[in-house]
Amino acid sequence: MDRRPYPPLSFLPETPPRLAYVSQDRYSKDWNSSLHTHGCAELFFITNGHGRFRTRREEFPVAIHDAVIVNANVPHTEASQPESPLEYTVLGVEGLETLAGAEGYTMLHLHTGWEELMACLALILRETGEALPGHEQVCRDLLEVVLIRLGRQQDAGLSGDAAGTRSSRECALVRRYIDNHFKEDLNLDQLARLAHLNKYYLAHAFRREFGVSPINYLIARRVEESRFLLRETDHTLSLIAQILGFSSLSYFSQCFRRVEGVTPLAYRQQYRQR
């Protein structure tokens, strides 16, 4: 396997990535949510439900379409919402680390390519479960596909004008951060600190780059994800609003109607009548 880096992932020196294990888990009453570590990196793919991911100093919401990459020996745990049991597939990978600073993790929201990644994970689970001749090679190849596609996801916001002026680069950074953290409680002050820009300058520069303010882009990303949850799950509107970081159901409905022209309930009913 070619040991070139795939942002936000990096291969450790002289250690090609190797699949150590793969497993699936689902929240239950005996779920252990205490901080723990592993001797290899872990790649979590949230396949259902809603919960929170914790490290020693941080905590953030996770739901379907999220991936969390945690370096070896980094304390972490997962906690589920009882009314929406968290489910995930996890890959333990030796010889891999995320380029994520002191906390040692990266969170990605995989808004494209999810079905292809799930197909790879399903085949890895099947190959390891059946242990047929050659399954190690199949899993190595599938792991490489997963890593490349994760790298593409993180790198997608770096093309075009984002490689130009400093403000363009910082605006691209903010947009990429919103794409991956839109379920969290974000505001313009936080985004400005992330970009090391004055918040008024950030709002002006972001609108110039992308035709929309940072906060309206955040709302649009939440509404985009809410369409998927309204179509593909039976979550209540209140739970969807909570998952996506809206402060209330009424604010979710207001934002959704402004973007889509109909209420969330009407959208769900229209889709299911097709």
How confident is the model at residue 101, as a pLDDT?
56
Q: Tens of pLDDT along 46-104? A: 999 888 898 888 888 888 889 999 999 999 999 888 778 899 999 999 988 776 556 78
Task: Please tell me the distance from the alpha carbon of residue 65 to that of residue 225, in angstroms, as a whole number.
Answer: 9
How confident is the model at residue 252, as a pLDDT?
96
Q: Tens of pLDDT along 181-211? A: 999 999 999 999 988 889 999 999 999 888 8
Q: Tens of pLDDT along 25-48? A: 988 877 777 899 999 999 999 999
Task: Provide CATH 1.10.10.60 ranges for the chain.
Answer: 159-274
How confident is the model at residue 236, as a pLDDT?
93
What class is the 9-156 domain? mainly beta
How confident is the model at residue 173, as a pLDDT?
87
* Phi, psi dihedral angles at 78 (to 5 degrees): -125, 145
How confident is the model at residue 165, as a pLDDT?
56
Rounded mean pLDDT, 210-219: 92
Take residue 37 and report the two structure tokens written for it: 């570590």
How confident is the model at residue 110, as a pLDDT?
84
How confident is the model at residue 245, as a pLDDT?
92
Positive or negative torsion for Cα 21, 26, 27, 28: negative
How confident is the model at residue 156, as a pLDDT?
46
How confident is the model at residue 29, as a pLDDT?
76
Task: Please tell me the distance from the alpha carbon of residue 171 to that of residue 205, in angstroms, as a whole number.
Answer: 7
Task: Please tell me the distance from the alpha carbon of residue 95 to that of residue 20, in angstroms, as a whole number.
Answer: 10
Q: What fold characterizes domain 159-274?
A: Arc Repressor Mutant, subunit A (1.10.10)
pTM, entire model: 0.74
Burial class (CB in 10 A: 0-12, 13-18, 19+), 106: buried
DSSP per-residue letters across 112-167? SSHHHHHHHHHHHHHHHHHT-TTHHHHHHHHHHHHHHHHHHHHHGGGSGGGGSSHH
Fill in the DSSP letter of residue 107. E
Task: Provide CATH 2.60.120.280 ranges for the chain.
Answer: 9-156
Take residue 40 and report the two structure tokens written for it: 């290899």
Q: Tens of pLDDT along 125-184? A: 999 999 989 999 999 999 999 998 888 775 544 333 434 456 678 888 899 899 889 999
